Structure 1
Amino acid sequence: MLMRQLERVTGAISEVTGRIGWFLILYCMTLGVSDVFMRYVLNAPSQWIGTTLQAAMVLLACVGGIYALQHDSFVKLDLFYANASTRSKALLDVITAPFAVLFLGALILKGYEAASLSLMLNQHTPTSVPIPIYPIKYAIPVSGAFVLLIVIKHFIRDLRTIWGLETATEDEV
């Protein structure tokens, strides 16, 4: 019951972030090309496009990580992993999960500290069009928390697979 709810929540979060990522890719492509056209053809560079593209790329990395982990699209060392049985894959994932949790814990904690400091200092971009930096900085620990939720879900699923309580099909893996 709890596992199904966790699956639904992480699935919904992943789909929303996937759609946000799709929009961000279109934004980066459209405005990136526009910026190059304005700079080199019209000789009228933009004051704000480059800065917003940087922010969009940070957000894209955040939402892309959530979507990729939910859909098991991260690159793995196939030399050991590809031909392993479902149970062996689950065991390898359980062994590596503590490293992911430690990394994500540090990312969430330090990301939150950096975002809070940015908000306290009311940081803005040092350009002619000042854009607040702290919303982008808050996206990092928030996305880290969502990724941690998916890691926990995968960890529970892998433990159930190891214990023989659940068999993952190739579609789920």
Structure 2
Amino acid sequence: MNRFIGRITMYLIFALIGVLLWSSVSKTFFNPSLWTLEMAQFVMVAYYVLGGPYSIQLGSNVRMDLFYGEWSPRTKAWMDGITVLFLMFYLGVLLYGAVGSTAYSLGYFGTEPFSFFWDLLVTLVTEGSDAAGEKLGFLERSRSAWRPYIWPVKALLCFGVFLMLLQCLAEFFRDIARLRGVEV
């Protein structure tokens, strides 16, 4: 799944180029567009967050090769297995915060964002989209002049961090297999 999403995400760089090109053209020849800077930021978030798991899958993430490059494959597997646990802890904390922030952007101001999303899902399935829409509160908007809704970017962040956690889990199991002498 990360490969499929990552291959599609690669082309977001062209969307980013298009937005920034339009920004330059509109500032030079027309009235400046209000939406270009924020849209460029949103596209960059999607590019980074959805492309990260694919980058880890390919092994093209940045490593400090001062020592790592000289180690044996077994030592590399040990070190990768240990460091990926730290990364998974960090991503778990990030996902928890992202879910809370996404719930806030959908108008939930309580302390249980997961129960909010569960109730929203149950209501959507059992009662339909109108009833689920009534559970939403005041939707958060950006403070810029364009004022887009923030929840799509925050939901995308949750999805991307979840994919990154899955890819880290896969890498962890690959490291364990390498330590056991099984090549995956």
Which bracket does the TM-score occupy, shorter chain normalised? 0.7 to 0.9
Cα distance in 2 for partners of 1:107, 1:129 equals 28
Output the amino acid matched with 1:27.
A
**Percent of residue pairs bearing the same amino acid type:** 26
The Cα of 1:125 is off from its aligned counterpart by 2.3
Q: Secondary structure, in 3 states, of the residue corresponding to 1:76?
A: coil
CA–CA separation in structure 2 for the residues paired with 1:97 and 1:67: 15
Q: Does 1:48 align with 2:35?
A: yes
Verify: 1:167 aligned to 2:156, yes or no.
no
Total equivalences in the alignment = 154
1:91 and 1:162 in contact (8 A); partners too: yes
Cα distance in 1 between the residues matched to 2:144 and 2:6: 29
SS of alignment partner, residue 140 of structure 1: helix
Q: Structure 1 residues 92 and 62 mapped into 2: Cα distance closer, same or farther (>3 Å)?
A: same
Q: What is the rounded CA distance, in whole Å, between the counterparts of 2:74 and 2:183 in structure 1?
A: 8
CA contact (8 A) 2:84 2:168 kept: yes
Q: TM-score, normalised by structure 1?
A: 0.82
When normalised by structure 2's length, the TM-score is 0.78
| Runs of 5+ consecutive residues of structure 2 not aligned to the other structure | 108-137
**Counterpart code for 1:55:** F
In structure 1, what is the Cα distance between the partners aligned to 2:36 and 2:66?
42
- Aligned Cα RMSD in Å? 1.5
Mapped to 2, the partners of 1:140 and 1:27 lie a distance apart of 18
Partner Cα separation in structure 1 for residue 96 and residue 58 of structure 2: 25
CA distance in 2, matches of 1:51, 1:79: 38
Correspondence for 1:78: 65
Q: Measure how far apart 1:128 and its partner are.
A: 4.2
- Do 2:19 and 2:39's aligned partners in 1 also have CA atoms closer than 8 Å? no
Cα distance in 1, alignment partners of residues 169 and 87 from structure 2 = 10
Counterpart in 2 of 1:103? Answer: 90
The residue that corresponds to 2:23 in the other structure is 35
> How far did residue 44 of structure 1 move?
1.2
